[in-house]
Amino acid sequence: MSAKRNVLGRGLSALLENAKTDITSNKLEGEGTVVGAIANINISNIETNPFQPRTYFEEDALNELAASIKEHGIIQPITVRKLGYDNYQLISGERRFRASQLAGLTSVPAYIRIANDQAMLEMALVENIQRENLDAIEVAISYKRLIDECSLTQEQLSQKVSKQRSTITNYLRLLKLPVEIQLAIRKGDITMGHARALINVENPDKQLDIYSHIVLNNLSVREVEDLVRGVKTESALPSDKTNTGAKKITKGNLTFEQLKIVEDLRAVFNAKVNISKESTGKGKIVIPFKSDNDLKRILDLLDA
């Protein structure tokens, strides 16, 4: 009781000497450990990172990770910085943090660091680039943020993330593609290889034309590279070989809205649905099936 009176009597200075309050201290009260060591921290005392470069976390993957944490615990500690009295902010490991909440944990193991906002942003971005399963656009955005917000050159960035400078450049070039194509990369409709081939076409409209060919004809990266070479030399897309009649059918003249319809139909039927259009504007919708049972499934969906 007297010890408590002594602390209160000394006022604010006594509180600031508390390691849980003093954000410049490298000691953790009552644990004898230093900043950088692993300590268990109450989840309720941790706030999320406002600089988190990843904004989407797949629900199924989070649930799987939560189940693993329930069974095995957290193998890789999260990283936090100390803000004040028993108050921390997440630097990296948000997937583990969210999954721990889903698993019902009340505390998590964490590395405790002291960092200003810029250093915190840099650590979060670099950690996510190296350890998270980011899609190519998320990686590109993270690279750009490191360059723009942390004042890094591409050479400095390549050293921090242990990547060749040419790799950094290739990712950054993805951000110059039309937003429709960037969205397709994020959703996994086309790969990084497809996108790198598209970058070599300067005209955005032609990039979108080729993109529609990729999606609707399921083109390989090699086929796209050949197509791009043809566009660059002939300044025109090759016509489809599927129709030799007077009314040429093409799959490369769909609008972005029509491409979205294709994506929606594929999601509904869980099949590679395609839309073909004639030059007159007429067309057809093709829904392929793999077996009699698959056909019955599709028919049931149509009847629903």
Strands (E), the chain: 38-42, 46-47, 78-84, 87-92, 107-113, 249-250, 274-278, 283-286
Q: How far apart are CA 21 and CA 18, in angstroms?
A: 5
* Dihedral, CA of residue 239, residue 241, residue 245 and residue 249, to nearest 10: -60
Measured from the Cβ of residue 174, the count of other Cβ atoms closer than 10 Å reads 22
Of the listed 47, 64, 71, 94, which one is catalytic?
A: 94
Residue 278 appears among annotated catalytic residues: no
For residue 147 the two structure tokens come to 């360059």
Instruction: Tell me whether residue 222 is exposed, middle or buried, using C-beta atoms within 10 angstroms of its C-beta: 0 to 12, 13 to 18, 19 or more.
Output: exposed
Axis-axis angle for helices 256-269, 179-187 (nearest 10):
10
**CA distances, 101 to each of 44, 93, 108, 128, 165 (Å):** 10, 13, 9, 20, 38
Instruction: Tell me whether residue 274 is exposed, middle or buried, using C-beta atoms within 10 angstroms of its C-beta: 0 to 12, 13 to 18, 19 or more.
Output: buried
Q: How far apart are CA 26 and CA 6, in angstroms?
A: 24
What secondary structure, in 3-state letters, does 46-89 show? EECCCCCCCCCCCHHHHHHHHHHHHHHCCCCCEEEEEEECCEEE
Q: DSSP states of 14-46 as a string?
A: HHHTSTTT-TT--B-TTT--BBTBEEEEEGGGE
Q: How far apart are CA 174 and CA 198, in angstroms?
A: 9
Q: Which residues are catalytic?
A: 94
